[in-house]
Structures are given as structure tokens and as C-alpha cells.
């Protein structure tokens, strides 16, 4: 299939439709408003349903209801909006409902601004709402990868009955790049959820989808079932990329937009004879602890770069286990670091 030039937010929307999503609920918030706008035009063309809600709180609860039918459902938002959804996200995780969320992260905390940032990492990877739960969290670094990971998010969410999150940012959402879209998924081949979905109980016993149980022992059992699901996800779904790490003395760790910038830094350093590589987690949950730990056995230093105060840095430290030093560089509040400033900061750390 020929490549087309498309904006990141719109690419995610088209990928979702081709993955079988026919139900989208959303509320506009910069810098992701083009995604619901695109879905409002595109979904009716394929027999789908778009509904603009009155708030993000309404959005997540409508998503909850639609997900109960076993259909592929989706919403998108940006940082403050995702915070408003947290109660419903926790409910959906406990009820074991598949759904895909997209957070096009902007600068914060608070109302912040509309520029790219990565300050929602903790919220995304540590749960974000109340209770013991996880989301499958995928962090694309290109528009093509955003397309590919959106399709994967639906498949993984269905497979494990766990909500999945695309953790993007304002730069990825607004940039345009050539992408190749997958073929349309045949809706009749999508996973069969008839053993639990709410589709009308005529001729069968009623199904119950809930995140509530007044008996603490029953609720503990529900929690333990989730724990087993998360163990399976950690076992089977860890994804990452390594770039020029084979002989690297220094490895940059970065995710999302910063990782694509860091690739340029790696190439700049190599031109100057400095052996630098890049380790990029694609799933930021489950995090690729083991492959990063293996790198710690052969490199001299890690250099973590993020657009936040060092949120992924905690996971890097857990992976490295104190085997090698880890230095850190960041910009916050919507400021995007340039390759030159990252490279200058790296040279300063190594005395070059």
C-alpha cells in the first residue's frame, strides 16, 4: 500500500478504524482535538458512532458502557483530560474491559500549556487512579509507529481484557510524516467476547460486568485475578528498541519523541569517535527491565534524557541495579531539547 502524508493524531484515528474500532467518545482538548474531529467525520463513513461528550468524566463512563458490549472502543485526550478520566479508568481495569485510550501529553503540572511533554509517565505506568491496577502502555516515537502501536493496542487490550494506553505527546500528535496504513480488519474476525459481553440475556443466563464487591474476600479474589493477568503481560509483551548498542560505552535511555531526538545524538557522538547507543522502551509498561540490565553488564555509563523531572529515571535505576552510573538531563514545561544541547550535556558529563 502506498504511503500517505498524515498528521499524527489523524493517523492514530485512521489506524483505530482499520483495527476495527467503530465507537469513539471524546471531548476536545489541545493538542489532540484533531483526533476526535477526524473521527467525527470518518466513523459515520464506515458505519461507526462518534459522540462528543460534555466532559472527560462523561467520556470515560460512556466508554465503560460501550466496552461492556465487547466492541472495540476508544477515546483520546490530553493530560488534564486524562486526569479527569482516572476514576473510570480504574473501574474499567477492575471490570476487565478492553478499551484503548490515547493521551497526547502536554506541559504541566496543572493547566500547564499546550506544548509537548512527558510528565504523565508516572500516571500512565503506575496506574494513575485508585487501587491496584495496570494499563498496557505503548510509547511511539514516529507517526508510523503510532499507527502500528494503535493496532497493537486494540489486539493486546482484547487479548488480556485490560485497557491499553497510547502515550504520545504534542509534537508527535501535530507532526506530519509519511505512513503506510494496514488493511481494514474484517469485523467478523475480531475476538469473540460473547462469554462475558452485555448483549441482551434472551436465551442465556445474564452476564455481570462490575468492579464492585462488598465482600472483601471476593474483592481480593478479583485483585488476584488481575495480578495473574499482569504477570502474563509482563512475561509476553515487553517491547523495546536498541540502536547502535553493540559496542557502546555509553547508552542513552529515552522514550517517545525524545528517543527520536536521541538517535541524532548517537550519530553525532559516533562521528566524534564516542561510542554511544540508545535504549528505547516501546512498552513503558511492562517495562523492559531485563534487556536494560543486560546492557549494564557491558557499558560504562547510562545517560537518561526525558521531558520531565526524571520519571522514567526510576525505572532505569531499577533495571540497572546500581551496576553502572546513571546521569540525567531534562527539559520540562513543554520545552523540547535539541540534539545539540543533549550532546553538549553528555560531553560535559564525560569531560569532553
Q: Give the sheet arrangement for strand 164-169, strand by strand.
A: 49-52, 23-26, 73-77, 100-105, 164-169, 136-138, 283-285
Q: What is the CATH number of domain 4-237?
A: 3.40.50.970
Domain residue spans in the chain? 4-237, 241-350
DSSP H stretches of helix in 161-288:
170-174, 216-236, 256-271
Mean pLDDT by 10 residues, the chain (352 residues): 93 98 97 98 98 98 98 98 98 98 97 96 94 97 98 98 97 97 97 96 95 96 97 98 98 98 98 98 98 97 98 98 98 97 98 90
* C-beta of residue 133 within 8 angstroms of C-beta of residue 94: yes
Residues ≥6 apart with Cβ < 8 Å to 170 = 31, 78, 104, 105, 106, 114, 115, 116, 117, 334
Q: Mention every residue, 6+ apart, whose C-beta is less than 8 A from residue 80.
A: 29, 108, 110, 111, 112
Q: Distance between CA 225 and CA 282 in Å, rounded?
A: 26
Sign (positive or negative) of CA dihedral 229, 235, 236, 238: positive
The per-residue pLDDT for 2 is 87
214, 267 contact by CB (below 8 A): no
- Nine-digit cell at 183? 488493511
**If you classify domain 241-350 with CATH, what class do you get?**
alpha beta
Q: Which residues contact 267 (CB under 8 A, 6 or more apart)?
A: none
The C-alpha atoms of residue 276 and residue 154 are separated, in whole angstroms, by 35
Residue (of 242, 283, 281) closest to 263 by Cα position: 242
How far, in Å, are 36, 116, 129, 226 from residue 30 at the CA level?
11, 11, 22, 33
Q: What is the DSSP letter of 116?
A: B
Q: What is the C-alpha separation between 240 and 256, in angstroms, rounded?
A: 11
Residue 165, φ and ψ in degrees, nearest 5: -130, 130
- Asked whether this chain's domains 4-237 and 241-350 adopt the same fold, the reply is yes
Dihedrals phi, psi of 248, to nearest 5 degrees: -70, 140
Cell triple for residue 128? 494513575
Structure confidence at residue 212 (pLDDT): 94
Q: What is the grid cell recorded at 122?
A: 508516572
**Residue written as cell 481480593?**
220
Helix-strand-coil split of the chain, %, nearest 5: 40, 20, 40
Q: Can you point out the beta strands (E) in the chain?
A: 4-7, 23-26, 49-52, 73-77, 100-105, 136-138, 164-169, 176-179, 240-243, 250-253, 276-281, 283-285, 301-306, 326-330
Amino acid at each position: 500500500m502506498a504511503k500517505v502524508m498524515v498528521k499524527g493524531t489523524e493517523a492514530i484515528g485512521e489506524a483505530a478504524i482499520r483495527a476495527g474500532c467503530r465507537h469513539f467518545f471524546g471531548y476536545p482538548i489541545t493538542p489532540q482535538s484533531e483526533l476526535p474531529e477526524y473521527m467525527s467525520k470518518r466513523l459515520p463513513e464506515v458505519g461507526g458512532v462518534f459522540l462528543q461528550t460534555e466532559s472527560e468524566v462523561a467520556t470515560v463512563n460512556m466508554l465503560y458502557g460501550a466496552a461492556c458490549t465487547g466492541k472495540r472502543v476508544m477515546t483520546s485526550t490530553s493530560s488534564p483530560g486524562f486526569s479527569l478520566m482516572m476514576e473510570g479508568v480504574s473501574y474499567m481495569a477492575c471490570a476487565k474491559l478492553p478499551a484503548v485510550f490515547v493521551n497526547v501529553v502536554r506541559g504541566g503540572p496543572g493547566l500547564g500549556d499546550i506544548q509537548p511533554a512527558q510528565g504523565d509517565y508516572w500516571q500512565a505506568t503506575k496506574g494513575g487512579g485508585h487501587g491496584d491496577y495496570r494499563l498496557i502502555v505503548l510509547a511511539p516515537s514516529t507517526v508510523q509507529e503510532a499507527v502500528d502501536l494503535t493496532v497493537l493496542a486494540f489486539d493486546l487490550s482484547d487479548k488480556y481484557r485490560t485497557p491499553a494506553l497510547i502515550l504520545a505527546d504534542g509534537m508527535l500528535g501535530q507532526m506530519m510524516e509519511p505512513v503506510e496504513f494496514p488493511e481494514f480488519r474484517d469485523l467478523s474476525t475480531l475476538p469473540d467476547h460473547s462469554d462475558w459481553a452485555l448483549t441482551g440475556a434472551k436465551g442465556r443466563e445474564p452476564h455481570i460486568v462490575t468492579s464492585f464487591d462488598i465482600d472483601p474476600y471476593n474483592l481480593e479474589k478479583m485483585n488476584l485475578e488481575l495480578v495473574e493477568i499482569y504477570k502474563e503481560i509482563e512475561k509476553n509483551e515487553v517491547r523495546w528498541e536498541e540502536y547502535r548498542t553493540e559496542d557502546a560505552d555509553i547508552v542513552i535511555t529515552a522514550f517517545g519523541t525524545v528517543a527520536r531526538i536521541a538517535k541524532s545524538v548517537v550519530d553525532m557522538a559516533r562521528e566524534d569517535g564516542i561510542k554511544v547507543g540508545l535504549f528505547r522502551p516501546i512498552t513503558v509498561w511492562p517495562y523492559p527491565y531485563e534487556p536494560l540490565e543486560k546492557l549494564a553488564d557491558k557499558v560504562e555509563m547510562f545517560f537518561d534524557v526525558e521531558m520531565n523531572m526524571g520519571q522514567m529515571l526510576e525505572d532505569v535505576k531499577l533495571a540497572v541495579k546500581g551496576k553502572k552510573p546513571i546521569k540525567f538531563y531534562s527539559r520540562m514545561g513543554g520545552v523540547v531539547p535539541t540534539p545539540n544541547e543533549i550532546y553538549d550535556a553528555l560531553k560535559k558529563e564525560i569531560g569532553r
